[in-house]
Structure 1
Amino acid sequence: MLTIHEVTVGYGDAPPVLTDVSVTVRPGRVLALTGSSGAGKTTLLNAMAGLLRPRDGAVTVDGQQLRDRDHAVDHRIVLIPQDNGLAPILTAAENVQVALVAGGVAPPEARRQTAATLAQLGLSGQADQLVEELSGGQQQRTAIARGVALRGGVLLADEVTSELDAGNRQRVLDLLHDEARRGAAVVFATHDAEVAAACAAELHLVDGRAQIVRG
């Protein structure tokens, strides 16, 4: 379980982006993180992922205060960033396989899991294409495949349906809900009201503060 307790977050000496934000991300549930562009959705996800240290308050995972990104990885916190974070000189399949092998999965099993996850996202035909040859939407789905294949205890996804058509957007939503049913705590940042409505809970960011809408 990931808990954000009265967290204030900002960059450098600039005024804080978020102030006194509190929320608990529970296993088995999908939390939609909403707000206008610039509201602080990515900032909050970065704090949850151990990439950004709060100025005040605490981020805890399973009762332990989160120290940094390495500590977050040790606690199986997976982040799918908005910019996808893929290696452009590797194929779609290689991007997923490398992450799995680095996480301790044996190469044959990594290949099997990669093929299965790419197939779930309609990317079997693009498995051997370089990332730089893929469309924006295909790159997004590859990043999602990599994040889901890692089977994190906490899965953080930042605007991962922004470039997808309705069919592929539903595929991604189904996959994120499958992860929650597996027992993961899922946080999905989105500006899409329809997508947010499909989640069990919603935290809305406005003027640097958070409002629980549902859940």
Structure 2
Amino acid sequence: MSRTIVVDEVTVAYGAGDPVLAGVSALATPGQVLAVTGPSGAGKTTLLWTMAGLLRPSAGGVTVDGEAIRDRDFAVAQQIVLVPQDNGLAAILTAAENVQVALIAGGVTPPEARRRTAEALERLGLSGQADQLVEELSGGQQQRTAIARGLALHGDVVLADEVTSELDATNRQKVIDLLREEAFRGAAVVFATHDPEAAAACDAELHLVDGRAELVRGPALAAG
């Protein structure tokens, strides 16, 4: 099922400080890859976490197909997949187990989980590392494992937060191609990145500076 996610005049603040996001609006549509760019501290992760239901805006709101995203549980039920910047992998599990656990938790049967896991790891060039513990993997291999887990979930919305930061040029291009494949199958993809070349490969770009958004190109809507 294809889903459209809308960010409408969202403001997010941590405590009493200045807002991290101030009146930001954006549109992520099925079949498109939206790049979210900006310097460190501009609010890229905050925006993706808000879209994923992990943060609640102090003003404005986020909807998926017209329904307000209330919390992370609701977002998960709407097939909104977040690939976090810190990978979020369990160090005591193998690469394959990290992917399988996420699939089984989402209701996938064990045989299907094993099939999807093998396929996803192969797509990321990690078949040889499937049975290695996460702590035995390099930073780039860990990042690719997290991406494999996100792709295996077959989300209707895929939020990828700086998922190429640890990768060399070849693997970075591979991941960008895989995100485009996710869009091709009908997902709405949002890709936070500081890499101008990666952003240029996306269909639209939303640039954040000091918590405010500027539409660089494409169909996304920005305000603030």
- TM-score, normalised to structure 1's length? 0.99
Amino acid at match of 1:184: A
2:36 equivalent to 1:50: no
SS in structure 2 at match of 1:156: strand
Matches of 2:72 and 2:16, distance apart in 1: 22
Question: 2:221 maps to which residue?
Answer: none
Amino acid at match of 1:105: V
- Give the C-alpha shift of residue 15 in structure 1: 1.5
Measured against aligned partners, the alpha-carbon deviations of 1:149-172 in whole angstroms (never above 9, x if no partner) come to 001110001100001011111111
Question: 2:82 maps to which residue?
Answer: 79
Percent of aligned pairs sharing the same letter: 75
Matches of 1:210 and 1:146, distance apart in 2: 30
- TM-score, normalised to structure 2's length? 0.95
Matches of 2:15 and 2:56, distance apart in 1: 11
Amino acid at match of 1:106: T
Amino acid at match of 2:54: L
Equivalent residue in structure 2 for 1:138, among 138, 141, 163: 141
- Give the C-alpha shift of residue 178 in structure 1: 0.4
2:35 equivalent to 1:32: yes
Equivalent residue in structure 2 for 1:11, among 14, 18, 22: 14
SS in structure 2 at match of 1:83: coil
Question: 2:222 maps to which residue?
Answer: none
Q: Which sections of structure 1, spanning at least 5 residues, go unmatched?
A: none
Question: 1:192 maps to which residue?
Answer: 195
Moved over 4 A (4+): none
Question: 2:170 maps to which residue?
Answer: 167
Matches of 1:14 and 1:46, distance apart in 2: 18
Matches of 2:117 and 2:49, distance apart in 1: 26
Measured against aligned partners, the alpha-carbon deviations of 1:81-110 in whole angstroms (never above 9, x if no partner) come to 000000000000000001111111111111
Amino acid at match of 2:58: R
Matches of 2:174 and 2:103, distance apart in 1: 22
User: Is the 8 Å Cα contact of residues 85 and 162 (structure 2) preserved in structure 1?
Assistant: yes
- Give the C-alpha shift of residue 116 in structure 1: 0.7
Question: 1:109 maps to which residue?
Answer: 112
- Give the C-alpha shift of residue 211 in structure 1: 0.4
Question: 1:210 maps to which residue?
Answer: 213
Matches of 1:46 and 1:12, distance apart in 2: 16
User: Is the 8 Å Cα contact of residues 43 and 210 (structure 2) preserved in structure 1?
Assistant: no
Measured against aligned partners, the alpha-carbon deviations of 1:174-214 in whole angstroms (never above 9, x if no partner) come to 11000000100000000000000000000000122100001
Question: 1:20 maps to which residue?
Answer: 23
Matches of 2:167 and 2:155, distance apart in 1: 23
CA RMSD, Structure 1 to Structure 2 (Å): 0.6
Matches of 1:21 and 1:92, distance apart in 2: 36
Amino acid at match of 1:176: L
What is the count of residue pairs matched by the alignment? 215
